[in-house]
Amino acid sequence: MGVPATHSDFYARWRAQNEARLFLGERDAAHPPERLLQSIWLHQRLRREDLQTLDGQPLRVLHPGFWNHAAGPDFNGAVLQFGHEPARSGDVEIDRVPGNWQAHGHEGNPAFAGVILHVVWEASRPGSHAVPALALEKFIDTPLAEIQQWAGAGAARDWPETLQGACSAPLAELAPEQTAELLHQAARVRFERKARQMEARARQTGWEQALWEGLFRALGYQQNIWPMQRMGELLPGILSSTWPFRHITA
């Protein structure tokens, strides 16, 4: 891997240097990379209570859907509620600007017939309104620079398969104490990433509610994060009356 694992910040610096590989081919400096927008949507790094479509409809995300790494819409099986309508299940497509709906050939493509929301970064230029659209720029839960740092810290699982596993041979050459140190560094980076995400949520809901939702998300494990997140949102205030350490302050 090029640098001894005994350097205390080696892992964080290595991640920062290599996360740029995720954005190869995305040269439009005016907009964040599409992969970053996908990560924002997947993890709902948004002020979720304030969401509105471009035509002014309130939007509630009950489930962001499952990230589709194959051809077709970016997310499948999302569950959304527009205004006071019943919740709907369908696909979500992520683009930088609304005009990419036509530019990328989605209009009339049967693979995109199930799209119920077009998510873009900004909408300063007109685009198709064949489906409701949401511009993320106005609703991210923390400044873009902080989100980019957060996304980079968790980017490894989103790397192309051709890059995954490339570290296995160099890692096998490390001494046991170096491997242990590298694992500790990786754990710290992961912990700090989750802490930043919870801090952003706490700015919207308060620390007790953010912790309550975090506990529910953890109980959902990988497959049921969003149903459990929704349960935590539907039970606000319970933590303040039941949490046994509620009177302890930092």
The verdict on residue 103 lying in a domain is yes
The verdict on residue 106 lying in a domain is yes
| 83, 108, 135 from 53: Cα distances, Å | 10, 22, 7
Quote the crossing angle between the two packed helices 225-234 and 207-219, to the nearest 10°: 140
**Confidence at residue 77, expressed as pLDDT on a 0 to 100 scale:** 96
Residues in the chain, pLDDT under 50 = 1-6, 20, 22-25, 155-157, 159, 245, 248-250
- Domain carrying residue 77: 46-139
Interatomic CA distance for residues 104 and 81, integer angstroms: 26
Half-sphere exposure of 21 (CA within 13 A, CB side): 16
The verdict on residue 246 lying in a domain is no
The verdict on residue 186 lying in a domain is no
The verdict on residue 215 lying in a domain is no
Helix (H, G, I), strand (E, B) or coil at 161: coil
Give pTM, 2 decimals: 0.70
The verdict on residue 101 lying in a domain is yes
Interatomic CA distance for residues 65 and 51, integer angstroms: 17
Q: How many helices (H) and strands (E) does the chain have?
A: 9, 6
**Confidence at residue 13, expressed as pLDDT on a 0 to 100 scale:** 63
When divided into structural domains, the chain yields a total of: 1
Size of the chain, expressed as the number of residues it contains: 250
Interatomic CA distance for residues 48 and 33, integer angstroms: 21
**Confidence at residue 225, expressed as pLDDT on a 0 to 100 scale:** 84
The verdict on residue 170 lying in a domain is no
The verdict on residue 198 lying in a domain is no
| Residue the block writes with tokens 């205030």 | 237
